[in-house]
Structure 1
Amino acid sequence: MNETLDQNEMKRELGLLDATLLVAGSMIGSGIFIVAADITRNVGSAGWLIAVWLITGLMTLIAAVSYGELSAMFPKAGGQYVYLKEAYNPLVGFLYGWSFFAVIQTGTIAAVGVAFSKFTAYLWPQVSEDLILLTVGSVKISAAQVLAIAIIILLTYINTKGVKGGKMIQTSFTLTKLVSLFGLIIFGFIVMKPEIWTSNWENAWSMQKLSPDGSFQSLTIAAALGAVAAAMVGSIFSSDAWNNVTFIAGEVRNPKRNIGLSLFLGTMIVTIVYVLANLVYLAVLPLEEIAYAEKDRVAVAASSVIFGNVGTVIIALMIMVSTFGCNNGLILAGARVYHTMANDGLFFKKTATLNKHAVPEFGLWLQCLVASALCLSGKYGDLLDMISFVVVIFYVLTILGIYILRVKRPDAERPYKAFGYPFLPALYIIMGISFCILLIIYKPNFTWPGLIIVLTGVPIYYMWKALDKNKS
């Protein structure tokens, strides 16, 4: 009897602190250390650099407090996949789950894994991305890619042994990186250079293109809107994965309360950290050094100013801790979506089975395989640029689902209701749609490939349905 229970029920072993740290830890990867460069190149001023992070933070917070209603209504594994399925239909839910499996989650795991390797190479050059170990046709496999795959395999293995191991890694690594980031922020403000700070804020709200020689090019209103949308691709990528805690609702104690609360607390903490970190960059580095830091490593440049020669080592260690913990959270949460899809007959049947540790082991290894393949392809960065558009579309659809479910199921139990409803969720929908429209107009290469990935899920959905029907 106990074995049957183990095979079909997840264990609720995560409390509010664990859930909050999963939100924060899944969000903070390598982005905050790098993407300020691309944002600054696009908008060309201190005010707009901070504004991009504040707009993204506001969107994320509104989405998080809105998701609280959905997580309280459906306190089970699967999260956003379940919300979309319940608000619309199984096809819409599947298209999200398919995109999630094909690139959103697996591509992020690959990107974060390679970021871990790149910064490990600061301390151990033997794992550099420049060291090619094997060439197969046009594919070159570097030491960094091999290390990234090894880390993904290690974290996957740990998470197959139950949620406790993953929880311990998540809690310890997230607390470590939060303390480290606050340390960087505090020391950054202590050694801030008033002349640099003043210079950076002289034309704080001039929207302009920043050239490598430090010159500025004014932008038209239309071009400025496109620049903000392009800049937000980086900030949205850095702030994504906040919803991962909803995927593991089946393992959170008192999920009707703790999921919504952890979403708010986690996203608020990270938004504050991100804005403060960018203010530190502006306090110690001239604008052009932020925009054109070597290989976009803004945090390395800032840390060198703050801590001297040892700064590079400090920031490398911080990013190693940050990316290791981030990938653990992504790996832990992701497989729960595939597990729920499989229970609906829309994924490999074996993924629906839990192992003796009450975790979806097959789904974890399947996710590991796809993420590793994306590591080897080297195309995860391009894919993630393309998918930012799709991610926001699914967020918009999910929040729109709150309104739909209020009509479809007016009498359903809602232990928590979306904060600021109907105005704040509507604000997110307007902001999200505006972001997507601007990308369609000004950065089409960021949009149509992501849509193609989503639409490939339509025939796959009907294939799974046919297979499930034949089996039954």
Structure 2
Amino acid sequence: MDKTSTPIAMKRELGLLDSTMIVAGSMIGSGIFLVSSDMARTVGSPGVILMIWLVTGIITLIAALSYGELAGMMPKAGGQYVYLKEAFNPVVGFLFGWTVFTVIQTGVIAAVAIAFAKYTAELIPFFDEKNVIFSLGFFDFNATQMLALILIAFLTYVNLQGVKNAKILQTTFTIAKLLSLLGLIVLGIYIGLNSEAFKANLTNFWTPYSVKVNPDGSITKELLSGVVLYGAIGAAMVGSLFSSDSWNNITYTAGEVKDPQKNIPLSLFLGTLIVTILYILANVAYLMLLPISGSPDGVTVLERGIMFASQDRVGTAAASIIFGSAAVTIMALLIMVSTFGCNNGLILSGARLYYAMAKDGVFFKRAAVLNKNNVPGFALILQAIWASALCLSGSYGQLLDYCTFSSLLFYIVTIVGLFVLRKKRPDWDRPYKAFGYPVLPALYVIIASAICVVLLIVKPETCGWGLAIVLLGLPVYYIWKSFGGKTEAID
């Protein structure tokens, strides 16, 4: 680039509504329509399930409010990566960015794209995963993967054209899915008020038990109490935490938010609050329409219950009580809208983190360059390539399981960073201060740490692989610093 020319800079195009829609849109994918089924098999109790969603919502809100202070102090592209680097050191920031690129962001993009394709196949059978486009013997490329790749490529192309186009798409699709989900909730609660399923769920509202399907098809129930109950709650919370994740994505885009010191904290609060309320109400609707217990051999949705909803599609099962045979089509359309908007928010946000890393010389240098539309084009393309590779590998689901623990761990470290920066940088301007400091941030650290301990106990292999992926970033960091070097800042 000509040194005398005016450098291309990011444009502050995102207002409060756009930012809030990125928060909410990135959070709501397909998880809310699926994970409650596995949670029901794990803890059995309607009351405990609602409590898990409530606790998840509370700790997510506390974290979001705490991040608001960090966002106000450091309204820079890269968000959480910048916070960790400033609070601790560049290595901690890189380990976060490394994990986000290799698994967390790209893995979720891949998983959401596949979910979009699978639900599209409900309406257009051509895209069914059984439709193999070509086979190499050791690898089959199916129509579901093809559509997932097309979705990633299309949304990446939209984002390459500038943040204005991306924000219009994001806001439109997020508002559509919020209103659709709210409509289903209102109808579900209205229809379920006098249902037999609701009465049955109230009978054993606080009785926790786990259900396992035996090889012969029979089921075994085990009452839960004491330490075993806490372990089951921790295992079940993985689903609610995953469904409530990605709220922090707006911090990555701080370089393009108008009045970021005000709008990022507000959008974090509003977005997470809206989603938390909708998630809890969605589960209330499920429990009013469907019995929590059921049989894997059940013919109807009522006989299968929430526990054994077909393919864990509890949202579709609940919708079938409202809409009958049209439920499959209605839910497929809703989840297609939901996953489409979710992936746009993820694709938009993630590239800004890699842009910040590249400027520090710990990512591909070209990722630090903005294209003619003032967005990090190379970072967007690289993200799309890796997410597509994960789609083809089929390993994204397993990788996401590995990193749910690591993602939570980074949230804890970042909140600890809030305390560190209060001591380390007391003179920095804080236009917004964390609500309830120091009590609420400390409470988050305690609760989230307890969840991590439970996960280490009940899922040691999963958590171990998650930590391994994070630690693999250590040699990568030092290799990159040795052969890389700081790039010219382009802000």
- TM-score if structure 1 supplies the norm length? 0.97
Cα separation, partners in 2 of 1:409 and 1:171, compared to 1, 3 Å: same
Q: Where does residue 455 of structure 2 map in the other structure?
A: 439
Cα separation, partners in 2 of 1:66 and 1:450, compared to 1, 3 Å: same
SS state at 1:242 partner: coil
Q: Where does residue 208 of structure 2 map in the other structure?
A: 207
Spell out the pairing of 1:303-322 with structure 2 (5 A cutoff). Answer: 303-322=319-338
Q: For residue 445 of structure 1, report the CA deviation from its aligned partner.
A: 2.3
- Counterpart check, 1:119 vs 2:128: no
Task: Give yes or no for contact 1:61–1:268 (8 Å, CA) kept in 2.
Answer: yes
Cα separation, partners in 2 of 1:37 and 1:2, compared to 1, 3 Å: farther
In structure 2, what is the Cα distance between the partners aligned to 1:461 and 1:113?
30
Q: For residue 391 of structure 1, report the CA deviation from its aligned partner.
A: 0.4
Spell out the pairing of 1:458-469 with structure 2 (5 A cutoff). Answer: 458-469=474-485
- Counterpart check, 1:230 vs 2:235: yes
**Structure 2 spans left out of the alignment, 5+ residues:** 294-304
Cα separation, partners in 2 of 1:470 and 1:413, compared to 1, 3 Å: closer
Q: For residue 215 of structure 1, report the CA deviation from its aligned partner.
A: 6.0
In structure 1, what is the Cα distance between the partners aligned to 2:45 and 2:32?
18
| Cα deviation code 1:259-305 (max 9, x no counterpart) | 00000000000000000001110011111211111111111111111
- Say which of 229, 247, 263 aligns to 2:268: 263
- Say which of 274, 277, 280 aligns to 1:272: 277
Q: Where does residue 296 of structure 2 map in the other structure?
A: none
Task: Give yes or no for contact 2:360–2:486 (8 Å, CA) kept in 1.
Answer: no
- Counterpart check, 1:195 vs 2:200: no
| Cα deviation code 1:400-429 (max 9, x no counterpart) | 001000111111111110000000000100
In structure 1, what is the Cα distance between the partners aligned to 2:308 and 2:144?
23
- Counterpart check, 1:391 vs 2:407: yes
What amino acid is aligned across from residue 231 of structure 1 in structure 2? A
SS state at 2:204 partner: coil
In structure 2, what is the Cα distance between the partners aligned to 1:214 and 1:173?
41
| Cα deviation code 1:135-161 (max 9, x no counterpart) | 234332221111001100000011001
Task: Give yes or no for contact 1:3–1:356 (8 Å, CA) kept in 2.
Answer: no
Q: Where does residue 92 of structure 1 map in the other structure?
A: 92
> How many percent identity over aligned positions?
55
Q: For residue 19 of structure 1, report the CA deviation from its aligned partner.
A: 0.2
What amino acid is aligned across from residue 194 of structure 1 in structure 2? S
- Say which of 300, 316, 320 aligns to 1:300: 316
SS state at 1:210 partner: strand
Q: Where does residue 298 of structure 2 map in the other structure?
A: none
Q: Where does residue 69 of structure 2 map in the other structure?
A: 69
Q: For residue 311 of structure 1, report the CA deviation from its aligned partner.
A: 1.1
Q: For residue 242 of structure 1, report the CA deviation from its aligned partner.
A: 0.2
Q: For residue 235 of structure 1, report the CA deviation from its aligned partner.
A: 0.7
What amino acid is aligned across from residue 479 of structure 2 in structure 1? M
SS state at 2:306 partner: helix
SS state at 1:29 partner: coil
SS state at 1:318 partner: helix
RMSD between aligned alpha carbons? Answer: 1.6
| Cα deviation code 1:74-122 (max 9, x no counterpart) | 0010000000000000000000000000000000000000000111111
- Say which of 393, 396, 413 aligns to 1:377: 393
Q: Where does residue 167 of structure 1 map in the other structure?
A: 167
What amino acid is aligned across from residue 237 of structure 1 in structure 2? F
| Cα deviation code 1:213-269 (max 9, x no counterpart) | 676311242221111111111111100000000000000000000000000000000
User: How many equivalent residue pairs?
Assistant: 471
SS state at 1:217 partner: strand
Q: Where does residue 15 of structure 2 map in the other structure?
A: 15
In structure 2, what is the Cα distance between the partners aligned to 1:442 and 1:471?
44
- TM-score if structure 2 supplies the norm length? 0.94
Q: For residue 134 of structure 1, report the CA deviation from its aligned partner.
A: 2.4
SS state at 2:203 partner: coil
SS state at 2:222 partner: strand
In structure 1, what is the Cα distance between the partners aligned to 2:467 and 2:343?
25
Task: Give yes or no for contact 1:149–1:375 (8 Å, CA) kept in 2.
Answer: yes
In structure 1, what is the Cα distance between the partners aligned to 2:6 and 2:292?
58
Q: For residue 4 of structure 1, report the CA deviation from its aligned partner.
A: 4.5
Q: Where does residue 380 of structure 2 map in the other structure?
A: 364
Q: For residue 175 of structure 1, report the CA deviation from its aligned partner.
A: 0.3
- Say which of 346, 351, 356 aligns to 1:335: 351
What amino acid is aligned across from residue 38 of structure 2 in structure 1? D
In structure 2, what is the Cα distance between the partners aligned to 1:3 and 1:178?
47
Greater mean deviation of Cα atoms: 407-416 or 130-139: 130-139
Spell out the pairing of 1:181-192 with structure 2 (5 A cutoff). Answer: 181-192=181-192
Q: Where does residue 158 of structure 2 map in the other structure?
A: 158
Cα separation, partners in 2 of 1:421 and 1:130, compared to 1, 3 Å: same
Greater mean deviation of Cα atoms: 214-223 or 191-200: 214-223
- Counterpart check, 1:243 vs 2:248: yes
Task: Give yes or no for contact 2:197–2:288 (8 Å, CA) kept in 1.
Answer: yes
Greater mean deviation of Cα atoms: 444-453 or 366-375: 444-453
Spell out the pairing of 1:281-300 with structure 2 (5 A cutoff). Answer: 281-288=286-293, 289-300=305-316
Task: Give yes or no for contact 2:362–2:485 (8 Å, CA) kept in 1.
Answer: no
In structure 1, what is the Cα distance between the partners aligned to 2:371 and 2:63?
33
In structure 2, what is the Cα distance between the partners aligned to 1:316 and 1:251?
33
Greater mean deviation of Cα atoms: 319-328 or 462-471: 462-471
In structure 1, what is the Cα distance between the partners aligned to 2:486 and 2:348?
32
Q: Where does residue 47 of structure 2 map in the other structure?
A: 47
In structure 2, what is the Cα distance between the partners aligned to 1:111 and 1:134?
21
What amino acid is aligned across from residue 211 of structure 2 in structure 1? L
Cα separation, partners in 2 of 1:203 and 1:409, compared to 1, 3 Å: same
